[in-house]
Amino acid sequence: MQLRIDKYLADMGIGTRSEVKQYIRKKQVQVNGVYPKGPEQKIVPNQDSITFQGKAISYIEMEYFMLNKPAGCVSATTDAKHKTVLDYIDTKKRKDLFPVGRLDIDTEGLLLITNDGALAHELLSPKKHVAKTYYAKVEGCVTSEDVVQFEKGVDIGEERLTLPAELKILKVSPEDISEIELTIMEGKFHQVKRMFEAVGKKVVYLKRISMGNLILDENLQPGEYRKLTAEEIEKIQMKR
């Protein structure tokens, strides 16, 4: 694979394409110890040696991060009002990372951050029915009748009922606060909250704990992240 030197450096977050062109003109970039002829010069990633201001710049084609999303930030790449999930990934190399799917601003838990568009499509496509499991605290006593209803599908005000979902009751407190796990096979807007509203209850805390084969690392505190392991990347790519 060959890349233009300006694209290579822009992909690695050195600057915009126009900024990189200026760096090249100012002789701040070298390819194999020689100043490139221009921004259009082709190089071979991880074969040619690229430096910027004397520092080696290695090329990373894909990045995969697991974030334990905290409440209060938005699942977006940019936002004028709120901190975004990308603001937490301070060791990223690429500039084109994005969150795979969205969690509400007040929802915590597993979020995959990557630049792998093909993988994101596989995980998010409605036709793939990728399982997503949530832990929630719910106002009201969740009952076995609710378990049966969720398995049949719930009317959340759309044309069709939700797909069958697996509801597990973990605990019900004397104050009628229920702790549950819910696995759904789709990702409609505010779906978990709307499903419980449909049976007369209210979600007061929500956390995603898994998505497909990817399970939230219990050692990650809200706002913490880490790179996916090679094994985790292989698992989530298995169906591709």
pTM for the model: 0.87
From the list 94, 12, 60, 212, the residue with the least C-alpha distance to 86 is: 94
How many whole angstroms separate alpha carbon 186 and alpha carbon 76?
20
Domain spanning 132-211, CATH class: alpha beta
Residue carrying the six token digits 């020689």: 34
In terms of DSSP bridges, do strands 3-4 and 42-43 run parallel, antiparallel, or are they unpaired?
Answer: antiparallel
* Topology of the domain comprising 3-56: 3.10.290
For residues 94-118, one letter each, b for 16 or more C-beta atoms within 10 angstroms of the residue's C-beta and e for the rest, the string is beebbbbbbbbeebbbbbbbbbbee
Burial class (CB in 10 A: 0-12, 13-18, 19+), 53: exposed
pLDDT the model gives residue 229: 97
Question: Dmax over Cα atoms in the chain, in whole Å?
Answer: 74
E-strand ranges in the chain read 3-4, 29-31, 42-43, 50-52, 55-56, 64-69, 98-99, 108-114, 132-139, 166-172, 177-184, 202-211, 214-215, 225-227
Domain residue spans of the chain: 3-56, 64-126+214-236, 132-211
How many whole angstroms separate alpha carbon 195 and alpha carbon 139?
13
Query: What would the two tokens of residue 99 be?
Result: 């969150």
Give the three-class secondary structure for 8.
helix
CA end-to-end distance (rounded Å), the chain: 22
Give the three-class secondary structure for 236.
helix
Per-position DSSP letters for 94-144, written without gaps between them: -S--EESS---TT-EEEEEEES-HHHHHHHH-TTT---EEEEEEEES---H
| 155 has catalytic annotation | no
Residue from 90, 104, 146, 155 carrying the catalytic annotation: 104
- CATH 3.40.605.10 for the 64-126+214-236 domain, yes or no: no
Local confidence pLDDT in tens for the 240 residues of the chain: 899 999 999 999 899 999 999 999 999 999 999 999 999 999 999 899 999 999 999 999 999 999 999 999 999 999 999 999 999 999 998 989 999 999 999 999 999 999 999 999 999 998 889 999 999 999 999 999 999 999 999 999 999 999 999 999 999 999 999 999 999 999 899 999 999 999 999 999 999 999 999 999 999 999 999 999 999 999 998 754
How many whole angstroms separate alpha carbon 100 and alpha carbon 214?
12
For residues 123 and 94, the answer to whether their CB atoms sit within 8 Å is: no
